[in-house]
Structure 1
Amino acid sequence: MFDKFEAFMNKYLTPLANKMDKQVHLSAVKKAMVAMTPLLIIGSFCLIPEAIPNMIGENNPVSQWILNNLDIIYIPYNVGMGLMSLYVSVIIAYHLANSYKQDVPGSVSMGLIAFLMMTVQYTEDGGIDTTYFGTKGLFAAMFASLIAVELYRWCKKKKFTIRMPESVPDFVSRSFEMIPISVIVIGFFLIIRILCVNVFNTMPPLIFTNLLAPLVGSMDNPFAYTFLKMLHCLLFFFGIHPSVLSPITSPISTQFLAENIANYQAGVEMTHFFTPGPESAFGNFTGTGVTFGLVLWCLLSKNKALKQIGGVALIPALFGINEPILFGAPIVLNPVFFIPYVICGGIIGSLGGWAQYLGIMSCSFFTPPYVGVFLEGYLTNMDFMSIVVNAVQMILSIIVWYPFFKMYEQRYGKQAEKTNDNSLLTKEDEDILNDLDLDF
């Protein structure tokens, strides 16, 4: 039964995932969202000082200094997360242009101006309204940059450019080359803006928000989130990194984080649980699928090889990295571990989302760096219940993995007895190493 399922996954899912991972547009979006991680962390840090007066009271010098300087403290947030869509439009255009090996400065400028054509509004006093420069404009930024670079590429392919004599310096020639391309790109996005404003009576970014509303809303549904965590585990079980889904999920979680931060600043209840901090601290607690239980049982095993695997995997697991146990035990493509990893691991990994959805634990307003288990979860929301939720996850992981580990340990021991060897290397591996004759 498992062999048929494995064959089905390798035939249909693995090629699809590989194509998604190598697809240039999705790859550009994924790289742009990864590049935003420092801005998320720094922007989230700016909210921590505001929480201090609530913890220690306002009638002390530290709290008074914080309250008097909040405008300065918020500057990194305003120029970071507050302008995130601008940065995303530039980075997507950069990576996509690199993939096509075409002029990067020209592509970046077209991606940025395309985004601005769709989002710029003016205030009554003539200033620029930055409403859509933050996370509200993320999907518009992705669309604008991808289409602008594709238009640039199409213009070059069809030779809709101005060619200057070879005697003209290269930087001057490129400037003239960009004139017809700029006209086409700007004209295209100006038409989109006019249609959206005059026909649909709304700005282009809101069109994307309305079209993607079902997908965005589903990420705040705990049942959909549990399914997503199982899907992450299923992909990793077959050796496919779950990051192939990040071009779809990362913009949504980033937007939710920004809305939580805005609500936190306004003193309004935070409602989104699908944000980057909890996704790392709870969704991937000790690694995708919450594999700490297997690490612990390997560490306590009487089998020398399994004990070594547990020892190697322990420290990484405490910092949310479980590749050593995934490929060392291994979990990947091991039918014995399918149920505890894919099904149980997905459910345990979603407990943080359920706790926030049910009001047991506060929603997140902070995306901390990797600081280790328990502390990372606490920093996401400054709620001591986060430690309780992580503890429940760890206990459940230990309980769930025990019977499957004992089954595997017994099978592993029998295999070792047949070969009279307790080594991590198979006979084939040792023969290859012996043939290499590596003497140091």
Structure 2
Amino acid sequence: MFDKFEAFMNKYLTPIANKMDKQRHLSAVKKAMVAMTPLLIIGSFCLIPEAIPNMIGENNPISQWILANLDIIYIPYNVGMALMSLYVAAVISYHLAQSYKLDVPGTLSMGVIAFLMMAVDYTEDGGIMTTYLGPKGLFAAMFASIIAVELYRWCKKKNFTIKMPESVPDFVSRSFEMIPISVIVIGFFLIIRVVCVNGLHTVPPMIFTNLFAPLVGSMDNPFAVTFLQILRCLLFFFGIHPSVLSPITSPISTQFLAENMEMVKAGGKAMHFFTPGVESAFGNFTGTGVTFGLVFWCLLSKSKAQKQVGRVALIPALFGINEPILFGAPIVLNPIFFIPYVICGGIIGTIPHWMMHFGWVSCSTFTPPYVGVFLEGFLTNGDYMSIVANGIQLILSILIWYPFFKLFEKRELEKEHENEEKKSVISAEDEALLNDLDLDF
């Protein structure tokens, strides 16, 4: 049964996943979202000082200084996370330009201009609104930058450029070369803008918001998140890194984190549990599939090989890295470990999400760096119940992995015993015969 399932996965799913991972547009989106990690961390840090007066009271010098300087404290957030979509458009354009071997400055500028043509809105007094320059405009930024680069590439391919004599300096030649390309790209997105504003009476980013609303809304459902986590474990079980899903999931989780931060900044309560920090600290607690239980039993194993695997995998597991146990035990393509890793690991990884859904654990407003298990979960929300949630995950992992590991260990011990017998040049019977002869050389 398992062999047929493995053959099906290798025949149909693995090629699709590999193509997704190598597809240049999805790869550019993934790299852009990873590049936003520093902005998420710095933006999250900016919310911490505002919480201090609530913790220690307002009638003290520290709290008074914080309250008096909140505008300054929020500057990194306002120029970082609040303009995230603008940066995403630039980074996607950059990586696409590199993959196509196009002029990076030219494509980058076209990607940014294309996004601004779609996302910029104005106040009544003529000022620029930044509503859609932040996480709310992520999908529009992806669309605009990708289409802009493809238009740029098409223009170059069709020679819709101005060719200057070779005697003209390169930087001047490139500037003139960009004129017809700029006209085409800006004209294309100007038409989109006019159609959306005058015909549909809304700015383009709202179109994308409405189109992706079902997908984004589904990630606020714990059932959907549990299914997603099981899918991640399933991919990893077959040796496919679950990061192939990040171009789809990262924009949603990032948008939710930004909305949580806005809610807290406005004096409200964070409501979204599908955020980058939660995925790392809880979904990947001790690694994707919560594999610490297997590491624990490997450390206590009678098998020399598995004990050594446990020793090697322990420290990485404490920092959410489980490749040593995945490929060392191994878990990957091991039928015995399919249920504890894929099914149980996916469920255990989302227990904190369910606790957040029911209000037992606070939702995240911070994406901490990799600081180790328990502490990382606590830093996502500052709620001590996060430590309790991680503790529940740890205990369940140890209990669930035990019967499956003992079955695996029994087979490993049999193999080790067989290998030891094969290593012996003289059989047990011959050795006994020699002992009986009592030969003295």
TM-score of the aligned structures, taking structure 1 as reference length: 0.95
Q: Which residue of 2 is the match for residue 101 of structure 1?
A: 101
Contact kept? 1:89, 1:145, Cα under 8 Å: yes
Separation (CA, whole Å) in 1 of partners of 2:303 and 2:58: 57
For 1:220-249, what per-residue CA distance to the aligned partner results, in whole angstroms no more than 9, with x for missing partners?
110010000000000000000000000000
Q: Which residue of 2 is the match for residue 261 of structure 1?
A: 261
Partner secondary structure for residue 420 of structure 1: helix
1:231 aligns with 2:223: no
Q: Which residue of 1 is the match for residue 325 of structure 2?
A: 325
Partner secondary structure for residue 398 of structure 1: helix
Separation (CA, whole Å) in 1 of partners of 2:221 and 2:131: 27
Shift of 1:129: 1.1
After superposing on structure 2, the runs of 4+ consecutive aligned residues of structure 1 that deviate more than 4 Å are none
Partner secondary structure for residue 230 of structure 1: helix
Partner secondary structure for residue 132 of structure 2: helix
TM-score of the aligned structures, taking structure 2 as reference length: 0.95
Separation (CA, whole Å) in 1 of partners of 2:59 and 2:306: 56
1:369 aligns with 2:369: yes
Q: What amino acid is aligned across from residue 27 of structure 1 in structure 2?
A: S
1:337 aligns with 2:367: no
Q: What amino acid is aligned across from residue 284 of structure 1 in structure 2?
A: N
Separation (CA, whole Å) in 1 of partners of 2:263 and 2:126: 28
Q: Which residue of 2 is the match for residue 437 of structure 1?
A: none
Contact kept? 1:304, 1:422, Cα under 8 Å: no
Separation (CA, whole Å) in 1 of partners of 2:340 and 2:422: 25
What aligned pairs does 1:34-433 form with structure 2 within 5 A after superposition?
Answer: 34-420=34-420
Separation (CA, whole Å) in 2 of partners of 1:259 and 1:253: 10
Counting matched residue pairs gives 423
For 1:366-408, what per-residue CA distance to the aligned partner results, in whole angstroms no more than 9, with x for missing partners?
1111111111111111111101000000000000000000000
Shift of 1:62: 1.5
Shift of 1:422: 12
Separation (CA, whole Å) in 2 of partners of 1:252 and 1:332: 29
Separation (CA, whole Å) in 2 of partners of 1:189 and 1:22: 28
Compare CA radii of gyration and give the structure with the larger one: 2
Partner secondary structure for residue 12 of structure 2: helix
Separation (CA, whole Å) in 2 of partners of 1:321 and 1:392: 19
Q: Which residue of 1 is the match for residue 437 of structure 2?
A: none
Partner secondary structure for residue 361 of structure 2: coil
For 1:53-81, what per-residue CA distance to the aligned partner results, in whole angstroms no more than 9, with x for missing partners?
11222222212211111111111111110
Separation (CA, whole Å) in 2 of partners of 1:356 and 1:291: 22
Separation (CA, whole Å) in 2 of partners of 1:61 and 1:276: 34
Shift of 1:169: 1.1
Pair 1:144–1:421, CA change in 2 (3 A): farther
- Tell me the percent identity: 80
Q: Which runs of 5+ in 2 are unaligned?
A: 424-441
Q: Which runs of 5+ in 1 are unaligned?
A: 424-440
Contact kept? 1:81, 1:258, Cα under 8 Å: yes
CA RMSD of aligned residues (A): 1.1
Pair 1:159–1:391, CA change in 2 (3 A): same
Separation (CA, whole Å) in 2 of partners of 1:43 and 1:133: 15
Q: What amino acid is aligned across from residue 39 of structure 2 in structure 1?
A: L
Separation (CA, whole Å) in 2 of partners of 1:386 and 1:56: 22
What aligned pairs does 1:21-36 form with structure 2 within 5 A after superposition?
Answer: 21-36=21-36
Separation (CA, whole Å) in 1 of partners of 2:59 and 2:322: 45
